[in-house]
Each structure stands twice: as structure tokens, then as C-alpha cells.
Structure 1
Amino acid sequence: MEYEKPTIKSADHVIKEPISHLMHHVTSNFEFKIGMIFVSEEDAYNTYNTYAIMKGFGVRRGTKRYLRNGDMNRCVFHCSNEGYSSTRPLNEERKRERLAYRCGCLARIRFKIENGIWEIIEFNDLHNHPFVQENQRHFISSARHIPEVNKSISSSLVDVGVKPKMTFRYLSGEAGGIANLGYTETDFNNYMQKSRQTMLSAGDAQTLIDHFKNLQNEDTRFFYTFQLDNDGRMCNFLWRGGVSKLHFDCFGDVIIFDTTYRTNRYNMICAPFVGVNNHLKNIFFGCAFMTDESTSSFVWVFKSFLDSMGGKAPKTIFTDQAYAIGLAIEMVFPSTVHRLCGWHIEKNAKENTPHLFKQVGFKEKYFNKLLWDCVSEIEFELTWKNMVDEWECGENTWLQRLYNLREKWCPAFSRCTFSADIKSTQRSESTNRIFNEMGCKMMSLTEFVNHYESKLVEMRNGETEDDYKNRGKPKILISDCGILNHAATIYTNTIFFRFQEEMLNSISEEVVNFSIEGASRVYTLQRSEDKRTHIVQFDSSNHQTVCSCHKFETLGWLCCHILRVFNTDLRFHSIPMEFVLSRWTKTAKYGLGFDDYFQQKKNTLSSSATTRLNRLTKKSFAVMSMGAADDVTENIVNRHLDLARAEIISYQGNSSVTVDAITCTQEDIQVGALVNEKGILDPIKRRKKGDTNSRLKSSLEKMKKRKRKYHMTLPQLPVQASKPPFVGGAENFDPNWMSGITSNLSLCQYMLPFNKQAGGCVLANKY
């Protein structure tokens, strides 16, 4: 049978590789037509799948029909949103409910198969859902596939002891970014788990400045600044990426500033500026390095950060209990609310009042309530007075200083201060695991910054994946509740689940008193098991609503008390928009320049020699993998490589490509040389012997570590020698207790330091 050869792409063999590798086969203006033919199922599927990914939807294989002789004669490929997700009851034991993406889309392509030729007989390109955004398309299931060449590379890296995360980072770097890799980190980890393989994984200051300059050339919004001491040595520096500025414009109302981490080589203080996005995930606004914790250093860091953000100051800042930080905040951020870390408050309390924390009831009855649970200033003052009277600790100087700072750490004094659900810098300290993954004990500043930036790419990819998952509708436990359905539409999934929890809690709230004062309605609510009452005031003229718990002012979503009034008493079917904080919505980043920024970055990268090299490397890997099948295919690859090399050499000999490349390199070298002439010296190496990459430990933590270090258990003794050597104190010591021991161990290896005061022994490694 005569048939027209497909004009889409050559299909002499089946292509099995990531969809990103196939993009060059289908142009942006390509369209399917009735009667178009293909030579195989994989040829048809790959072409339609490539077309789908470029449009922004996924593909699923549909129904196949066969003749009586077993030959296929009909086949259909659907949009991945075809049909509807199965409805099943909520399983409380299931850790994570799947999100629903299928919405009954009818887009599809149908083929007729005769004599092995696939002909299009139906093509429906009408979708009932929005397409996936370009920066999210690599998460589509049909676009994800791990090629054999990457599996081979992974196996090679396993042999040299590289960790899975480092392997994935390398592969994504070779691909020109995670989006171009063709599969996600989860896909990669699943493959590694299935294959049961274990993976393991200097002018320093001037090099760093040159590196910052290169980053600024690639990203015009990149910002960096540094400070030199009198000897020309770098003492402080700060940097942030361009996307960090966009993040701060959207989520910069609350920041966390943590100084509990030091680097290795220079013992410099690493102080990241951390925020929270609309998925309640950490985001970095910038990072600073300091040689000391003086007020002047903090002032310089805060001023530099303020300049990098266009003069916009945060509403709230969380820090540890450092006096110098407080002074610097008052000078640079006078209108910013300064809050202290509750985790550090509790840690310092254990160190400064150990005699109280050892007593049963002090922490549980008083301190925890003061630190976390007081809802009013009156309740705080009464609880503090009762604590001082009962434990007679009014003369304790540390507690007196803590009381004077109560407005900065007790929630009763910050009920109207927005905190984005942050209670301590523990969120910031959790980011220190990023720095703990450094492979070199003496990492340079440039290596540290590279490590930091690569981790940011991973975090931002995770954020993009969270944005992608928000396309699915979360599980609504009260399906006929208009407010919950509205919340599921506007809020991110993470915030919706918090909101839904408040709605469920509102069921337990009862109105114990109601009054009308003009246009205001006053509700007094109480739970049956709680003695506390909360007052909700609703103004019917403008819908202004205030609750005495002030959770909306603090967290940004409505509390259970207001929801009880809105849902049950006022019969609202949606959330009034004045109570929808945009930073928690799915559209929080819309209109702030994120799309333009990433498009600019994409255009810059697409024209770089590195990106061209990555594209060629990916394609050549696929060809070489096929060429390694046997001697014939190897000869084919070698012959074409020789022809390509000869053609490139001929082209370069008749053009200025090589000259331009050399000139560009020389310009880069000259820029570095000019900067070097300024004489920026490295910070003084202050690292002491034995220092590690860990967070700064308190004296209490060090004491606990020493106790654990000297703890051991006695060797198992024979039955005849199992009598305890000490019974009731030193006067009852049995000198013959080792008579039944036949081992060669000496007495000092069994003997332990004797604690006469306790009347017993202390286990230790050494006598």
C-alpha cells in the first residue's frame, strides 16, 4: 500500500527518551490534521505527547480495538484530564489524600491502523481546563521519563560513592536545569529505591566578588554588597538573587533573622533572611556573612538588606535574644515589630534557672503558659504573679530582665501583630541543614555561595511544584459548605487545610450571649470544655468583624469564632474579600513580574554557550547510547561525528565565531584583573581546631553532650559474678565480687568512679 511519508519527524526507529529531548521534532505552529499518518504506535504517541507538552497538557493512552486475528485496528490517546477521579470516602489512616485533576476533558486523537500504518481519523483539540504554565510543564506525568543513559550515569556515580541528591543535582546541571531534565527528584529517588542502590555521595574574597559579578551579568536584578576593614580585608558581605526581591515584594511582611550558624574556614557568622511563602514553606530573601556580632555589623547588614529591597521594611522580624540585634533593629527598622524567638527563650531559661526547671510543675503550670498560651495581658500578669509567689523567684535577675522584655516574646502582647504562623526561629534553624550538607570541611566562600544558590534552585523548584499541585482541588470534608468551597478556590492547599480545621472547630463553639448595639452585633462564644470566652463583634453596615482572639490579625485567616458567626448565624456562602489575605492565595504572585523575570532568565540562558553545550550533550548522549549497541552502530556514529567535526572546522575557518568567543573570554579576564588590583583580601582565618559546621551550641547542650559521652554500660558478667559490687553505699563494698570472672579484663576496666554523696557509682569510659 502506498502512503505518504510523515513530514513531522523521521521515525525509522522508536524513540524512547524524555519529552524535553523530543521538542525539536515538533514546531510551535505544528497542528494535527485528519489523514496524517505515522509508521508506528510509538511514533504517533511521541508526536502527540510532544505536541501536548508544548501546549500544556498531559496524555494518557486510551482504548485499543483489535481484529479477530489479533491485529490492532483502532487506538485513541486522551488528554490526561479525561474522565473523572473516582469518589471514595476519606481514609483517616491514609497519610496523604490524592488531589483531583480530572475534569471530563474530551480532547483526544483517534487513529485507524491498517498494515502497520497509523492514520488520524479524529482530532479534538478543545479542552475544558486551563493549560499548565510553561515553568510547570516538566511536572506533567507523560513528560517524565528517566532515559537509559541517565540510569547508566547514576550507576557510575554510585560506584564512586556519590549521594542520590548530589547525583540528581549533577544530572539536572548537565540538563541545564531541573525543568529540562525530563523527570522530577521524586521520580529519580523512586528509581534508585527500586534498583536498591545506595548512593553517597581559593584569593577567596576576590573570587567571590568576581562570582557575584558574573551572577549580576546573568541576572540584572541580582544584588550584592560587601564591607572592608581598615586593612582591606573583607569583613561583611550580603547578597540576594533577583527572584528573592520578587519574593520579598510578595511575602516580605514577616522575616526571620538567625545568627546561630558559622562557616568553617573563617568562622564567619552566616545570617540568612528567611520568609514564608503562600504554601507555608521557607523562602530565602538573602544571606549575610559577618565577622562579629557587634551592633555596627548588624546595622550595616540591615541597611544593606533594606537598600536591596528598595527601602521596603518588613512588618515583623523574629530574632534570637541578642542585645546588639535589638539596637540595630531600632535604628534601621523603627516601624518594624521586633519579636523574640520562643525556642531561644526556653533554652536560655533552662540555663539561667536550672533550679526551677528541675522542679515538677514549674514548666508545665507556669512557664509554658507564659510563653505560648496567655491570650491577654491581664492573664499574663496574673500568671506571672502567681509564679513569683509560689516559687519565690522574684529576686532572680534573669527573670526580671525577661519580664522587662515581655512585649517581645509573650503572645498576649502581640495579638494584633501579623506573624504568618511563625512562633520561633526554629523555622530558620531548620534551613541550616542546607549548610550542613557541605562536602568540604574547609569550604571557601565561593564554594559556600555556589552551594547556597544550588539549594535555592531546588527550593524554588519545590515551590513551582506546589504551585502546580494547586491546580487540583483539595478534599472538602463538608461538601455543602459554601465558605469552605470558596476557600478551596482561592487559598493554596496548605492554607485551605488550616482554614478547614478552623471551620471544623467552629462546630464546637456555642453562642452563650448575644446583644445588638446599634449596627453592631456582639456574640459571646464558648466551648463546653473550655472556661474561656471569646467575643465577636460584627458591624452589619460594612461587614467589619473583630474577634477577641485576633487570630485573623495574627495569622491572616479567619478564626473558628468568626466562622461560627458567618456560617451558622449570618448564613454567609463565601468569605468576605476583606478577610482574604492575598499572600495566602493561589494568585499571590500574579502581576508582580515573576513571569517576565523567568522569561528573561530563560532568554539569557538559551543564548549562552553553556546552554548550547548542554543541549548538544543531551542529544549526543542519546545517540552514543544507541551507537554502543554493536560494531555497526558504532561505526555509523563515528562516521557522522567525523563529518560533523569537519563541517564545523570548515565553518569556523570562514567566520568570526572563534574570534568572538576568545574576545569575550579576554574581557572576562580583564574585568577580574581590574578588580584584583583593588586588593580585596580574605577575611582572617579564625577557625579553631575541632570546629564543625554545626549551629552554635549553648552551655546546657554542651553539658548534656558531655554526660552522654561518658555514659556506658557494664560488660555482661558471668552468672557467678553478677552480684552488684555496691549495695547500700561504700561500706557494703564486696571485694570478692570479681572472683568468678575468668576474662583477662583488669579490675580498672570494671571499676567505676564512686560517688560517695549519691551512695552509688557513675558509669564512665575511663577510671
Structure 2
Amino acid sequence: MSNFHAESSEMVQDNANQNSQSNDVMKENHDDNPIVGMIFDSEDELYSYYNKYAYKMGFGVRKSSTRVKDDKKYYALGCHKSGVYEPKTETNKKSKSCKTDCKAKISVIVYCDGRCTISCVTLEHNHAKNLNSLVVEAEGYENLAFDERDCRNYIAKARQLRLGKGDAEALRDYFVRMQKRNSNFFYVIDMDDEGRLKNVFWADARSRAAYESFGDVVSFDSTYLTNKYDMPFAPFVGVNHHGQSMLFGCGLVSREDTETYVWLFKAWLECMGGRSPKAIITDQCRAIQGAVARVFPESRHRLCLWHIMKKVPEKLGKLKQYKAIKKTLKSIVYESIQSQEFEDGWSQLIKDYDLEKNEWLSSLFNDRKCWVPVYVKEIFWAGMSTTQRSEGMNAFFDDFVNSKTSLRQFVEQYDNALKSKIEKENKADFDSLNASYKLMTGFYFERQFRDSYTNAMFKLVQVELHSMLFCNHSLLTTNGTISIYNVTDILRGKRGELKRKVVYTMSYDEIGTDIQCSCHLFEFRGIICRHMMKILIEKDIKEIPVCYILSRWRKDLKHRHYHVINCYEDLKSGRAKQFDQLCSSFYEVAHLADSQEKYDYLLEYIKLAKQKLIDDSSWGVNSNKKIVSEDHNHVPEPSKPLLPPTQVRSKGRPPTKRKESKIEQVTKGKRKRNIWLVRLKLSVGIARDFLCFSNI
């Protein structure tokens, strides 16, 4: 095969020498995809070209071994996931990423005069491509040969939703159909004066019900899918009692300005009954920040820490002392215990490295109370530090959406994605109620948490319990019933090496077993910290007060969204429809009982109705007993056509003329097979678990 490539390349080289001008045109016109016969003046030029192509496509470059024959050098430039993964023999060494034996590559021949040519091209990859995998391979953003914005923009263009002819009307038809199935399905369509689609928001009935239980903290991100009209997909995401992502609605917006986000936030707020989240996490975007301040003035707003820190290489990477600056900055941000400690460290950083004129750092310091951990750790964030929760939801949709997905197809795949989410939540519920982790200690409070919390949350408790072994405490002062302690936390690395020691202050009040820690993990995540556990054991507290067992993480509570029929399935059963309507009516009436008199009145009638249904034997016997009522929730069919949106250029997302690549054609079939296999495995796993638990 190598000889054939060499002979073919020599012929290509002869032809190219006769017409070097056509080769320049070839490189210019095929900037996206390399082709056989392209000639370069040097290896550096070829490598630069292929590296540029690689970052556009979202994969890293790896050079194969070189061999020399007949005064020519042969090697290949391929995907960083080429080759077969071989696990390390030592258990303490873990590979940063797994090889997938990816065949994507170009074969290169270098001639004695330094010129080189591409003799063979394979474009198809056998894995997904994204920026995070590149960062892992490069061991940091600063080692990438391109900046984060370039890659994000290209990946955004590669994941387009194509809004074809009639898609706008199909979207509205879909919303009408969903609302007919469940009257609590909510949607808003924003149109311009000419009847063109501008912005869209929708939320299903189950998401609205779930928000009532888990809507205290919400993450919002608009950096995912775009279509050819530049309409970013913007989901509202929360966390359930298993620590799983939950969708609270999503939108498609035509612009990324403050007014557009105000429209979207108001639509979502109306959908959720006017109840704002207690806390909201967003990207560092001035337009979003302005909209949050206007629509959610009472909500605590936090900027995504991950988004900010990943910009460090881009903003500071060209400075001479970049590595030292980066190390110091990370230490100040992540290790400061008190706000004054952070501010003193920041001032010293600016002074030591002459960064007074750096506008980006100045803006970060001005916004410090919105993103630095030491300023936000006293607020409950349900463990969500960043909008990665939204990005995790975005990645979840990747299994159902590709670059050929139209908007019409997207809403159908959106249904499939949420069905899968429901299945995972149901499985987690079943596992938590029927199996649990073994106890690590004999402390009663550990058993309390195991019996109360879901498996995922109890596992976090056990992590703190294990880390308590590396904590030491000492009594500082005692004032009446209040004792003040110092707890020294000995932090260790993954291999057990000592990293640093941190001293936290503990306050314990004998009255009511009130305990507070300066680490504020309980306030931030809702899990008692290792330092609190240390003092509880010191005080011989066997049973923890219920105030430290959050109902949010309990496994025995039946949340309202459990009773909402999935509107993505056809409700063929009349009984299912009736049950769903009754649950909705009961809930609405319960909210009206906002005083003791109304509560007593409603409860009395419920008792009478319940007794009537139990005692009256005529129910269900006389088939002529029917109640006929009008469907007041009927939504008339739209008559006026909805025009597609105008193409609007949004910042960071320029229009693209990119054609579908071969990999997208290949992965389209593979993705369907993978989804089928995952669902099959999930079904088998649930059945196996059921049989195991039924035998216990």
C-alpha cells in the first residue's frame, strides 16, 4: 500500500510541478478539507495547514512514526485518538483520554528538496469532537494552537439547526399539539410586524411541576446550538434530588442583546407563575447580566467561574510571566478563606506583575462578588458552581441532534431526549428506595442520612465522613452554651500527598445543637461538612437535628412532577387524561387555600368527597352517570402562516457556508445505533435490578 501511495504521489508531484498555480487555487478553495495531491513548500507549511483544519473540525493532531526510503520521508498526521488504548499497568497512573483507533489522517511524503505532498486522505472519525477533549490532550488552554473563541464558534457552526421552509409553522403546530395533550404545556412565540419568527420559549408540564420542588437554583446558558438564522438554544436548567440535571424550559433567540434576554426571562417567569429563582448562574455576558438585574432583581446572580477561569490563557497568555501569574491567580481565587484575604492577595498580584493597566483583570475585580467563591459560598447553590450544568444538558442533547437536524426534527428529538431523562430519574428513584450504600462507621447520624437521602447525596455525605479522618480540632473559647473551635483540615492530593493545611472556625451552641462552620459547605451545597462532623462526634451528638437534613435531597418525598403524565406520549388512555386533569385541579385549588379558614373549608370538603367515593356503591355501576363539560383549554388551530426569521448575525456566531462532511454522514447512522444500544442496556439493567431487589 505504501508503494502505491508513493508512486501515485510522484505522479501527482509531476503534474503539480507543471501547474503550481492550480495547486495554490486547490489549497485556497479547499481550506476546509485536505485532498490528495496538495503540495506544500515545507513540512511546517503543511503542518500549519492541517493543524488549522484540525482545530476547525475539533480534534487534536498526532504525528505517526517516520520512515525513510529512496530519499523520501513518509509519515502521517492523524487524529489524537488514533491507535488502540492500552491501560497502564500501575493503578495509580490513569490515561487522560482513551484512544479509539480513529483512522482519520493524511499521509505525507517529503521530498529531498523539502517540498511535501498529501498522498492519502481519510476524513472520517469514529468519535465525537469537542473543545474539552483538546484541552485535556494539550494539558491546558494555553497549550492550544488556537484560542477558545475560534473553536467554540466553529463547533457552534458545525452543530446547526437548519430552519427550512415551513419549519416555523411546524414548530407552532408542535406547540399546539403538545398543549392539546396537556393544557399545562406552555409556549410563547415572539414575531415581528411582518409575522416573522423572532424568539421562542416553551416548557412542558412536567418541567413546570419540577420547578416547584427544585427551582431554587437555576443555571442559564445560551452558548449551545445555533441554526442558520443564528438562533442560540438557551436552556434553563436545575438539579433534582439525585444531583441530575433537570430542564425547566428552553428558548430560541434571534439576538444576544439585553432586550432579547429580557423577553426570554419574562416569558420563563410567567411560565413559572411569577416565582423567581433564589439564585441564578449565567455566563459572563453584559447583556445577560443586564437582563437578570431587570427581571430577577431579588435573585442572587452568580457568574460562571469555569467560563471566567478558562479565559485566563486567552487574556494573559502573552505575558512574559504568564505561568507564575496563572498559578498565583488560581491560588487566590480557589484558596482564599476570607474576602479580605482574597483582596489582599489580588492587590499583591497586580503589584508584583505590573498588571494595573490590564482592563480584563480590573473588570473581574469589580465583579468579584459575583464569581469569586469566597463571596458566594454562604448562598445555597445546590452544588452548582458553574453553568457546566447547562453545558451538561447541552451535551445530553448531542446524542439526539446533529448538523443535519432541522428545527422540525429538533423538537421531535427534544421529546426523545426528555423521555430518556425521565427514564434515568425513575431508575435513580428505584435504586435509592430499594438499595443503599453500606455504612462506613457506627455513628447513628450516618444511618440517618442513609435512610433519608437519595443514594447520590448520601455518597457525598460519606465523602465528607471519610475526609473527616484528616481533620484535627482544638477548643478556643467557651462562653456560656457557645463553644468556639479551630478545625485544621489537612488537604491531600489524589495520590495521598500533602497539599496544604487550612484552619476553619467552628461555632457550636448547646441550645438546639446549632453548629456553623466558616467553610460554609452546608450553606453552599446542603451537605454537612467534615468539620461539623468532627465537632458532633466530639460532643457525642448521636442524632442530628432535622434542620441539617434538607428535604431537597430526601428520597421519600413524592414531588408533584411524578404525577404529571408525560405529554410526549400519546395519551390514549382516558383514565390517564382524567388522572392528570384531577391532579392539576387539586393543585390549583390547594394554592387558593392561603388562610386557615380556607384550609379548613377545603379539607372538610375533601374528607366528605373521599367518604362519598368510598361508601357509595352506585359509583361505576350506573353507566348513565356522566358529567359533560367544555374543554376551556382548547387552542384554535392557527390560520395565518408563520414566516421564518430573517438571517441575523449574532456576536461570535458568523454565518457559515459549511457543507455536511463525510463524518456527519457516517456518525448519523452510528448515533442511531448507539442510542438504541444505550436504551437496550438501560432496559436490561432495570430488569436485572428489579429481579435482584425482589429476591432480597
Quickly name the TM-score band, shorter chain normalised.
0.5 to 0.7
Q: Displacement of 1:312 after TM fit?
A: 1.0
* Residues 375 and 412, structure 1, Cα contact 8 Å, conserved in 2: yes
**Equivalence for 1:538:** 508
Q: Displacement of 1:372 after TM fit?
A: 2.6
The 5 Å alignment of 1:596-615 reads: 596-598=563-565, 604-607=571-574
From 263, 266, 271, the counterpart of 2:229: 266
CA distance in 1, matches of 2:386, 2:401: 29
CA distance in 1, matches of 2:213, 2:318: 46
1:224 alignment partner AA:
Y
Aligned-pair Cα RMSD in Å: 2.9
The 5 Å alignment of 1:616-765 reads: 671-672=636-637, 675-677=638-640, 679-685=641-647, 688-690=655-657
Cα pair distance change 1:452/1:373, threshold 3 Å:
farther
* Residues 508 and 527, structure 1, Cα contact 8 Å, conserved in 2: yes
2:209 alignment partner AA:
L
From 444, 450, 460, the counterpart of 1:488: 450
**Equivalence for 1:520:** 482
* Residues 476 and 485, structure 1, Cα contact 8 Å, conserved in 2: no
1:681 alignment partner AA:
L
* Residues 435 and 693, structure 1, Cα contact 8 Å, conserved in 2: no
The 5 Å alignment of 1:2-401 reads: 202-356=165-319, 359-364=322-327, 366-401=328-363
Q: Displacement of 1:603 after TM fit?
A: 9.8
SS of the residue 2:382 aligns to:
coil
**Equivalence for 1:53:** none
Residue 574 (structure 1) aligned with residue 543 (structure 2): yes
* Residues 199 and 253, structure 2, Cα contact 8 Å, conserved in 1: yes
Residue 584 (structure 1) aligned with residue 546 (structure 2): no
Gaps of 5+ in 2: 1-90, 95-125, 127-164, 491-497, 577-633, 649-653, 662-696
SS of the residue 1:355 aligns to:
coil
**Equivalence for 1:500:** 462
Cα pair distance change 1:353/1:511, threshold 3 Å:
same
Q: Displacement of 1:424 after TM fit?
A: 1.4
**Equivalence for 1:472:** 434
Q: Displacement of 1:481 after TM fit?
A: 1.7
* Residues 302 and 328, structure 1, Cα contact 8 Å, conserved in 2: yes
1:144-175 deviations in Å (ceiling 9; x for gaps):
xxxxxxxxxxxxxxxxxxx9xxxxxxxxxxxx
SS of the residue 1:300 aligns to:
helix
SS of the residue 1:326 aligns to:
helix
* Residues 227 and 235, structure 1, Cα contact 8 Å, conserved in 2: yes
Cα pair distance change 1:424/1:481, threshold 3 Å:
same
1:203-248 deviations in Å (ceiling 9; x for gaps):
2222211111110111121111111112211101100111101211
For the pair shown, the structure with the greater C-alpha radius of gyration is 1
CA distance in 1, matches of 2:357, 2:657: 39
2:504 alignment partner AA:
H
**Equivalence for 2:561:** 594
What is the percent sequence identity of the aligned residues?
31
Q: Displacement of 1:680 after TM fit?
A: 2.2
CA distance in 2, matches of 1:587, 1:692: 51
Cα pair distance change 1:358/1:424, threshold 3 Å:
farther
Q: Displacement of 1:332 after TM fit?
A: 0.5
**Equivalence for 1:433:** 395
* Residues 357 and 363, structure 1, Cα contact 8 Å, conserved in 2: no
Q: Displacement of 1:601 after TM fit?
A: 9.1
CA distance in 1, matches of 2:282, 2:168: 28
Q: Displacement of 1:374 after TM fit?
A: 1.9
Cα pair distance change 1:451/1:581, threshold 3 Å:
same
**Equivalence for 1:702:** none
* Residues 181 and 567, structure 2, Cα contact 8 Å, conserved in 1: no
* Residues 207 and 248, structure 2, Cα contact 8 Å, conserved in 1: yes
* Residues 253 and 314, structure 1, Cα contact 8 Å, conserved in 2: yes
**Equivalence for 1:563:** 533
**Equivalence for 1:89:** none
1:544 alignment partner AA:
D
- The normalised TM-score by structure 1 is 0.53
Q: Displacement of 1:522 after TM fit?
A: 1.5
Cα pair distance change 1:542/1:404, threshold 3 Å:
same
2:360 alignment partner AA:
W
Gaps of 5+ in 1: 1-91, 96-162, 164-201, 610-667, 695-767
CA distance in 2, matches of 1:357, 1:467: 53
SS of the residue 1:313 aligns to:
coil
CA distance in 2, matches of 1:499, 1:283: 22
Cα pair distance change 1:444/1:671, threshold 3 Å:
farther
Q: Displacement of 1:595 after TM fit?
A: 4.3
CA distance in 1, matches of 2:301, 2:357: 27
Cα pair distance change 1:524/1:440, threshold 3 Å:
closer
The total of aligned residue pairs comes to 432
From 378, 381, 396, the counterpart of 1:416: 378
Q: Displacement of 1:477 after TM fit?
A: 4.5
* Residues 205 and 567, structure 2, Cα contact 8 Å, conserved in 1: no
CA distance in 2, matches of 1:676, 1:266: 24
**Equivalence for 1:446:** 408
